[in-house]
Amino acid sequence: MRKEEFKYFYALKEKITSRLQEKYPDSPSPIENWKVKDIGNFQSDLEESIQSRVSEKWVYTHLKNTAEKLPREDMLDILCRYVGENSWSDYVNNQANVSTPNKSKWLKILVPLVVAVSGICTSLLWKTAPSSRQCQICFVDAERHQIISYAPLEFYLLGPKRAKEKISLDSNSCALFESKNDQIKFMVRSPYYKTDTIKRNVADHEEQYREEIRLKTNDYALMIHIFSTSKIEDWKKRRAQLDVMIADDAQIFQIFEDGGPIMDLYNKWDFINKLTTPARGLKNLHIMDTEYKNGKIYAMRFKQFTNEETE
């Protein structure tokens, strides 16, 4: 296979990681660093966005590992459609056209021009650069009107060209940061609250911007967590509630720590039976993420911790 096609394939893998990070900002880059969770997120996003599927084994063989040959062209077409290209052949042509002949001739003209323009722009920026604005964004439970202290929250400040910066929250569930922009964009994620991407115009706040944002709970995920950590006597009622919450064709993954099996897969009733078994059932579940279809859980990933691990 031509060396250029491998180069284009590696560039395509970078586009795939960038596309996945739009929905899952904590997804690592490059693809070789993906873990089981990231592969699952990619499979879900691929099916949701272009209605195509790839197996976990295929991802390991052709994306995570260094392959000796390229995947079949129909599979390359799927990957290209995922990143917004029409097909593999169109993508290759577009990449090839980026490099044009007689570049040296144009470089002799453009380089001095770029240097001159850069000097002028730098001078203007020093004179007109806006001062930093201090921002404080705090989060509270929309129903309880209280600080969110029991559930993990992740805050990402989003910038141009898919740039993102994770900012830690303080004990009051507040993010503190500085920005020179008149508009800020950020994302907040939590397994027990609904993920939201928010934009705010802060141009009218010269030195400081503060806001309190109310997050709506991911009710079903929170209920499952509560079921697994509380003493339940009316098991028949709980089973009926879970039946309503979970889709019949749901896929539920239990993720294990390093050193053991990678994951275990439950269908709807396997999971309900295990969760509502008083002895040796699923206890103390921590939901990692959930996906919904028609108002019901159709995909979920969770870990199970011992009491010692959560203290």
Q: Is the pLDDT of residue 251 over 90?
A: yes
Domain spans in the chain, listed from the N-terminal domain onward:
3-98, 103-129, 133-215, 219-310
Confidence of residue 132 (pLDDT cuts 50, 70, 90): confident
Residue count of the chain: 311
CATH superfamily of 133-215: Carboxypeptidase-like, regulatory domain (2.60.40.1120)
Q: How many CB atoms lie under 10 A from the CB of residue 76?
A: 22
Range with the lowest mean pLDDT among 24-33, 171-180, 257-266?
257-266
| Residues forming a β-bridge with 213 | 139
DSSP-derived 3-state class of residue 33: helix
Pairing of strands 193-201, 183-190: antiparallel
- Specify the higher pLDDT residue, 206 or 272: 272
pLDDT at 253: 93
Q: Is the pLDDT of residue 131 over 50?
A: yes
Q: Which CATH topology does 219-310 take? A: Nuclear Transport Factor 2; Chain: A, (3.10.450)
Look at the pTM and tell me if it is higher than 0.75. Answer: no
Mean residue pLDDT of the chain comes to 82
DSSP assignment of 9-42 equals: HHHHHHHHHHHHHHH-TT--SSGGG--HHHHHHH
Half-sphere exposure of 178 (CA within 13 A, CB side): 6
Do 212 and 147 meet the contact criterion of CB atoms below 8 Å apart?
no
